[in-house]
Amino acid sequence: MLINDVARMAGMSKDGIRHYEEMGLISSSARQAGSRVYRD
């Protein structure tokens, strides 16, 4: 799942997702073509 999908499902912006990732509350599992990939 890409960050756009996660943000849409959570009802927040991509910046909000990135903020939580920087805080260590969530993490992406890999990178694909420069994009963060999240497990569902």
Find the DSSP H helices in 1-40: 3-10, 14-23
37 and 31 Cβ atoms separated by less than 8 Å = yes
pLDDT tens digit at each of 40 positions of the chain = 888 998 999 999 999 999 998 999 988 777 777 778 887 7
| Structure tokens, 29 | 């599992």
Letter for the amino acid at 7? Answer: A
Residue 24 domain boundaries: 3-37
Looking at residue 39, its pLDDT comes to: 76
Q: How many domains does the chain contain in total?
A: 1
The alpha carbon of residue 13 and the mean position of all alpha carbons in its chain are separated, in whole angstroms, by 10
Find all residues with CB under 8 Å of 10, minimum gap 6, and list them: 16, 17
**Count of C-beta atoms within a 10 Å radius of residue 6:** 21
Looking at residue 15, its pLDDT comes to: 95
